[in-house]
Structure 1
Amino acid sequence: MSEHWWRDAVIYQVYPRSFADANGDGMGDLEGIRSRIPYLAELGVDAIWLSPFYASPQKDAGYDVSDYRRIDPRFGDLGDFDRMLADAHAAGIRLIVDLVPNHTSSEHEWFQAALAAAPGSPERERYHFRDVTDPEVPPNNWQSIFGGPAWTKTDDGKQWYLHLFDASQPDLNWDNPEVHAEFQSVLRFWLDRGVDGFRIDVAHGMVKAEGLPDTGGDGTIEMIGTTQAPFFDQDGVHDIYRTWRPIIEEYEGDRIFVAEAWTDSAERRSLYLRPDELHQAFNFDLVLAPFSAADFRKAIDSEIANNAGVGAPCTWVLSNHDVQRHVTRYGGGAQGLARAKAATQLLLSLPGVVYVYQGEELGLNEVLDLPAEVREDPTFFRTGGAQIGRDGCRVPLPWTREGSSFGFGANGSWLPQPAEWGALSAEAEDGTEGSTLEFYRAAIAIRKAHKATGLTWLADPGEDAFAFDNGALVAVVNFGADPVPVAQYGTEVLLASADLVDGQLPGGAAVWFEK
């Protein structure tokens, strides 16, 4: 395991509920993850980012934490966690765990104590409580990211409490020293157990503007967007991370912080990456970008330029547990899969870090037709079904061609899988020439053997295509519908997402040439 591994790693996101179910209860667990570590090692990933597995009522799939030091029994216990971590490390794979510091569960002992205490008490000062002056008018116009008001009244009707997400997720008050001390202790608890870092959920949201002023308009702000708000990307968050960085640096092993920070510019995002703050911040520009050469090139140039200014690695991501899978975003079917493979090959040739969301290596699509009765995302319920939410990208993985849950577990899965997913299972794709899984394995292996050292744009092969030299290979990506000539860029093909025909790269495809 090399030092500064995090500057060019391939990191695989495991969503525990939906990865692998060892005990047959229909929900994934830590033992299931442990059983699939050989699969991840063969894929070639350097690290796992593990979404929340802490004790939780699961109102928001584990992002509502009731105890930050305990494993939710649905997933196992601390012994299961330790065995999984040991096996990952033995396979040369690091483990980054999710940390949720913006809010707790309403069942957290702190919030339960706050509800039992009087207004103005120390217990209530850990959260954002405000007196009710008009029973119909909340303290400000902020709206929940999941829909509806961001304020809920206490049962006695005397105060409101703030929740940027679900009412079961009250926001912590980071002006309170107790909150700082608690999370510094939580960091040490998991670092002492051997984790290799933390992905910080809503890293841009912990600090609210003084006085909690109204937002513009009706108070609605999207999480997956680029609008500044009185509760997002406030400068005070940087003071928090300056206290965290010395803690993680006390520990050996080159451990890291990764920020989920939705900002209005790459410049604002780079502020999280100053040398005394965090190591990485997700760049979501390509998640938001249409499949076009101009949009991708603009996002790439912006990320590289701004991160160079703070000496931080670029991060590249196309899908995660919060957004529609990119096969579907790019049109679905054969076209969507072809474009998804091309975009992935592009990412794997860029300098920096690449994040892979579980199942994208199988070419999984977004499941758009889940019935209402199986949905669990609070967005669906808080908007009365107007927004279907994120369940469609969280459907459990298919491991085998057949079975009630295609090998996910012995007794079905918590969300139903499409019948056609048997053909997209790991078993069906393993060793199958032309499969998405084998394409990912080959692309990651070639990336490791041809490490990017920079990026130099070359003459474009067409109006909606581009080419570049990353210091180790030449990459060409065709975003258009028509083939483009690529013979001028090289003769020895390292990998192509679609076969070249007479020196032409098909539309929606990428190719790497040996330099």
Structure 2
Amino acid sequence: MTPWWKGAVLYHVYVRSFYDSDGDGHGDLPGVQAKLDYIASLGVDGIWLSPIHPSPNRDWGYDIADFEGVQADYGRPEDFRRLLDAAHRRGLKVVLDEVLSHTSDEHPWFVESLTGGPTGPKADWYVWADPKPDGTAPNNWLSVFGGPAWAYQPKRRQHYHHKFLRQQPKLNWRNPAAREAALSVLDFWLEKGVDGFRLDVAGTYLHDADLTDNPPVPVDERTRLHWSHAGNLQRHLHDSNLPENIEVLDAIRRRVEAHGEDRFVFGEFSEEEARCGAYCSHEDGLHSGYTFVMLLARKLDPGFVREHYRTLSDYPLHWPTISFSNHDVPRTVSRFGGGADTPDLARMLFALLVALKGTTLVYQGEELGLPQATLTRDQLRDPVGDLYWPYDGGRDGCRTPMPWQPGETLGFTTGTPWLPPAAEHRGLTVAEQEKDPDSTLAFARRMIAFKKDSAALRLGELTFLDLAEPVLAFVREHAGERIACLFNFSAEPRFLDAPQLAGAQLLPVRAGDADLRGGSIGLSPHAAAFLRLA
């Protein structure tokens, strides 16, 4: 039996910015429940919730202080129970975001590890090391968020390792008790009925026990991305991304599947993808994984997509998760050169996202074609944006409140929103697009329905067609159904000889215009067209 997640579409809810039910300016779980009918109307199979656990919000929920609780801003445990039940009644799966490689420095585990000293019961639950004789950090590991990935604690006269913020100490997965405690978090929520997990930074569970220095990225190989953050100037081969990480991923999958074969676990991999388990099959490692290859791309062209899927083809047993946008990167349409005034580009990109082989992740607002918001420094809440201002505006531009209806706060809250509503989103609200049968929202619904009705788009293999760029063309094929998918990446119309399409049926679901005449096809700017092949 084909698992439900294979070829599914999951809607990524960034809870704090989705919908505020009580006027405190923060999105919450009752707010998500209030909008479940909207989410279900998109035709998606489930929701992925950003972390819901108590957190001091140094990294906005990705620094967890209690794995078994619910963040007070978001509601109470009974609110989550009601949301879960309401989602299930609508046929929606619920996937939680779990951050198991590190915790907040306010988590009781870390407090005990710190105060209990080197001989305490949780002494080795985190990665501690002595300073060098001159007092500097134990090795050269760099934090993703800037500076050394070590913080000195005089209480223990040692440094602790943090791959991200200083307030996010690294849990020691080499300690059996710490590992079991982390795995038990999954048991806790699975027993409450959740359908699975998205694992944050899934390549970072294990570290090199000898604390070997990371090698530098050779200077002549450094790109804009490498220079953007200091941590990118070294290859993260020893602080994380170890090959034996795959064994941990496999243990996680088995723990999840022990609660039922219909449970799903996938991971986020941002570095050294092939090395640490991103491309494993669900027989060895997680069920699925997504990388930052598509998320960090600043230029999307047919060659780029082909190269990414050539890499995936090296792992034929791997089922990918596909994402163009999330809470960490600039919104898709802006990243690839568009804005609020380029709906054709937004629709073409959404069609491509849904048509590619894999389980599809749709970030909230992507179905509206939202561009990136522009914020001033005094409006930022993201520590990364503040650290690298003005070079990098940080992640807040993709985290602004969901625009529901016209008005000062775009229908997100009756209070003062935690981030300012984006001026760029005015005119793109759900309420306004609901009235327009030709809106990006209407197209997104048609595109998702098309995928659900097509076994080829859900489950089929992907084979590229040899058509001239800037048109990308591929065929999805399953159980005798063959769908050709064509995308014009250009802002100009394109006319191509395409003998492979002779005799094909041009399907009504499309972005822009397409004209098929025998063995040739014309595509309007940023068009997406689908054809049923004989």
Aligned to 1:435: 439
Match among 497, 507, 512 for residue 530 of structure 2: 512
- In the alignment, is residue 344 of structure 1 matched against residue 374 of structure 2? no
Match among 265, 272, 297 for residue 306 of structure 2: 297
Secondary structure, aligned partner of 1:485: strand
Aligned to 2:168: 169
Aligned to 1:47: 46
Aligned to 2:223: none
Alignment of 1:40-439 (within 5 A): 40-134=39-133, 136-156=135-155, 158-217=157-216, 227-252=235-260, 254-264=262-272, 269-289=277-297, 290-303=299-312, 305-308=313-316, 310=317, 312-333=318-339, 337-368=343-374, 370-383=375-388, 386-402=391-407, 404-439=408-443
Contact 1:141 1:218 in 2 (8 A): no
- In the alignment, is residue 478 of structure 1 matched against residue 488 of structure 2? yes
- In 2, Cα distance between equivalents of 1:271 and 1:439: 31
5+ long unaligned stretches in structure 1: none
Secondary structure, aligned partner of 1:288: coil
Aligned to 1:493: 507
Shift of 1:97: 0.3
- In 2, Cα distance between equivalents of 1:390 and 1:363: 18
Contact 2:348 2:487 in 1 (8 A): yes
Shift of 1:504: 1.9
Residue-pair matches, total: 508
- In 1, Cα distance between equivalents of 2:273 and 2:259: 32
Alpha-carbon distance change, 125 to 459 in structure 1, aligned in 2, over 3 angstroms = closer
Aligned to 1:457: 464
Letter in 2 for 1:354: T
Contact 2:470 2:489 in 1 (8 A): yes
Shift of 1:442: 0.6
Shift of 1:112: 1.3
- In 1, Cα distance between equivalents of 2:217 and 2:353: 37
- In 2, Cα distance between equivalents of 1:142 and 1:32: 41
Letter in 1 for 2:300: F
Alpha-carbon distance change, 384 to 359 in structure 1, aligned in 2, over 3 angstroms = closer
Root mean square deviation, CA, Å: 2.5
Alpha-carbon distance change, 222 to 251 in structure 1, aligned in 2, over 3 angstroms = farther
Secondary structure, aligned partner of 1:251: coil
Letter in 2 for 1:479: F
Contact 1:233 1:261 in 2 (8 A): no
- In 1, Cα distance between equivalents of 2:140 and 2:343: 42
* TM value normalised by structure 1: 0.92
Alpha-carbon distance change, 347 to 385 in structure 1, aligned in 2, over 3 angstroms = closer
Structure 1 stretch displaced more, 93-102 or 141-150: 141-150
Shift of 1:99: 0.9
- In 1, Cα distance between equivalents of 2:102 and 2:269: 15
Task: Please list the CA deviations of residues 101-160 of structure 1 after superposition, one character each: whole Å capped at 9, or x if unmatched.
Answer: 111000000111222222343333111122234455111111111112211111458221
Contact 2:346 2:440 in 1 (8 A): no
Secondary structure, aligned partner of 2:437: coil
Structure 1 stretch displaced more, 375-384 or 65-74: 375-384
- In 2, Cα distance between equivalents of 1:127 and 1:302: 35
Shift of 1:223: 7.8
Alpha-carbon distance change, 145 to 35 in structure 1, aligned in 2, over 3 angstroms = same
Letter in 2 for 1:115: L
5+ long unaligned stretches in structure 2: 219-225
Alpha-carbon distance change, 430 to 318 in structure 1, aligned in 2, over 3 angstroms = same
Shift of 1:459: 3.4
- In 1, Cα distance between equivalents of 2:214 and 2:343: 40
Contact 2:216 2:235 in 1 (8 A): no
Letter in 1 for 2:448: I
Contact 1:267 1:306 in 2 (8 A): no
Task: Please list the CA deviations of residues 334-380 of structure 1 after superposition, one character each: whole Å capped at 9, or x if unmatched.
Answer: 67543332122123222321110111111111113x12223121213
Shift of 1:169: 0.5
